[in-house]
């Protein structure tokens, strides 16, 4: 910079609302949002999630209603996560392959409600289906095995694609799963089904309310540090992203969100691919708790944090505040 005060007064462009709008570098819109929704069994069922104020589990028929709501708000995509019944959970997660499982029924309900007017993103991992709460299969020592798990994830992905999923989002962090899923999708004729890889998913303390919502929290034996990333590592995240892009991911995700905006920025600058972030359950709960305690205005907190994702380089954000934010953004 060669200019100096008073020739350059940076406050000049901030002095009026119209000027601030004209010089705004990043814009958040309803089209930047993906709305995560939790599915439960039954019909006409809404189950509030105690650790996520304002968030509920919905039966498949009501997931269709939520999808219509999202479409009306201009939200382009929803993400589905099932709360599988305890009696359908097993050590091998076989319910993930059932073509009539909760996920598949929810996909079909959304299709019936909205047709092709909204995208459907589906989670590929075994933790909603296993009796032990881990994302994969265990050996006799309790270690999550990689290659056998990938084989099941491939079948799970195909099951969801055949039910009508638009975006397969493997969140398991097994090595090689993106290539295996991409090959299976191609061989199965699902050429236009996207893969949004959870490429940099950290072993975070921010996931607790999510595990409550999908029913895996109380089941989890041990931790997930042998496959989810160490929060201390950044270079490793770039290696993970590079591998997933090479294996066939159309877009990549960083999870959690706000504590890892540096990773979002590094991924965007290094690879110039669509990068998404997941504003996870713990982040949502913290905003809600702050607003409830009078520590900040809820609407302002929601929009400011979401704008931070855009500033960091995100193409979009998965957030439980999606519907609320869309209403605010649309006035």
pTM, to two decimals: 0.96
Q: How far apart are CA 214 and CA 31, in angstroms?
A: 26
Query: CA-CA distances (angstroms) from residue 165 to 50, 103, 179, 238, 247?
Result: 29, 10, 18, 28, 20
- Is residue 42 in a domain? yes
Residue 122 lies in a domain: yes
Give the per-residue pLDDT at 331. 87
**Within-domain flag for 1:** no
Q: Is 310 a catalytic residue?
A: no
Establish if 15 belongs to a structural domain: no
Nearest to 277 by CA among 23, 11, 28, 24: 28
Backbone angles phi, psi at 124, to 5 degrees: -115, 105
Question: Is residue 9 included in any domain, yes or no?
Answer: no
Alpha-helix residue ranges (DSSP H) falling in the chain: 17-22, 60-72, 102-114, 147-163, 177-187, 208-214, 235-247, 261-271, 281-292, 298-312, 322-329
**Looking at the domain assignment, is residue 6 inside a domain?**
no
- pLDDT tens digits, the chain, 331 residues: what are they? 688 999 999 999 999 999 999 999 999 999 999 999 999 999 999 999 999 999 999 999 999 999 999 999 999 999 999 999 999 999 999 999 999 999 999 999 999 999 999 999 999 999 999 999 999 999 999 999 999 999 999 999 999 999 999 999 999 999 999 999 999 999 999 999 999 999 999 999 999 999 999 988 788 878 999 999 999 999 999 999 999 999 999 999 999 999 999 999 999 999 999 999 999 999 999 999 999 999 999 999 999 999 999 999 999 999 999 999 999 999 8
**The pLDDT of residue 1:** 64
Show the tokens assigned to 149.
């798990």
Strand partners for 110: none
The number of distinct structural domains making up the chain is: 1
How far are the Cα atoms of 92, 154, 208, 215, 224 from residue 133, in angstroms, in the given order? 11, 19, 13, 9, 10
Which of the following is catalytic: 68, 108, 201, 225? 201
In a domain, 301, yes or no: yes
Nearest 10 degrees: CA dihedral of 274, 70, 64, 123? 20
39 lies in a domain?
Answer: yes
> In terms of residue numbers, what domain contains 79?
27-329
Is 201 catalytic? The answer is yes
Please answer whether residues 104 and 41 qualify as being in contact, where contact means their C-beta atoms are separated by less than 8 angstroms: no
Closest CA to 245 of 213, 228, 220, 270: 270
Catalytic residue among 224, 255, 268, 310: 255
Residue 172: CATH number of its domain: 3.20.20.70
């Amino acid at each position: 910079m060669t200019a100096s005060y008073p020739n350059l007064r940076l406050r000049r462009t901030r002095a009026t609302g119209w000027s601030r709008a004209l010089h705004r570098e990043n814009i958040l819109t309803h089209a930047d949002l993906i709305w995560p929704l939790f599915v439960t069994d039954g019909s006409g069922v809404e189950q509030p999630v105690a650790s996520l104020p304002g968030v509920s589990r919905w039966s498949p028929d009501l997931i269709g209603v939520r999808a219509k709501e999202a479409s009306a708000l201009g939200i382009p995509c929803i993400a589905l996560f099932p709360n599988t019944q305890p009696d359908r959970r097993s050590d091998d997660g076989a319910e993930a392959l059932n073509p009539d499982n909760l996920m598949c029924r929810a996909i079909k309900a959304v299709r019936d409600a909205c047709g092709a007017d909204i995208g459907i993103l589906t989670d590929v991992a075994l933790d909603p289906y296993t009796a032990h709460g881990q994302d994969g299969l265990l050996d006799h020592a309790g270690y999550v095995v990689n290659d056998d798990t990938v084989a099941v994830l491939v079948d799970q992905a195909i099951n969801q694609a055949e039910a009508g999923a638009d975006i397969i989002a493997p969140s398991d962090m097994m090595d090689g799963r993106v290539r295996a899923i991409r090959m299976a999708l191609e061989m199965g004729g699902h050429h236009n089904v996207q893969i949004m890889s959870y490429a940099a998913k950290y072993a975070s303390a921010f996931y607790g309310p999510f595990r409550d919502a999908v029913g895996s929290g109380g089941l989890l034996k041990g931790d997930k540090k042998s496959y989810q990333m160490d929060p201390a590592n950044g270079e490793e995240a770039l290696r993970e992203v590079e591998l997933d892009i090479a294996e066939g991911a159309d877009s990549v995700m960083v999870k959690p969100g706000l504590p890892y905006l540096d990773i979002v920025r590094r991924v965007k600058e290094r690879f110039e691919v669509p990068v998404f972030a997941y504003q996870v359950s713990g982040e949502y709960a913290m905003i809600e708790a702050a607003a409830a305690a009078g520590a900040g205005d809820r609407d302002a907190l929601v929009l400011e944090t979401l704008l931070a994702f855009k500033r960091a380089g995100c193409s979009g954000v998965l957030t439980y505040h999606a519907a609320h934010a869309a209403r605010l953004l649309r006035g």
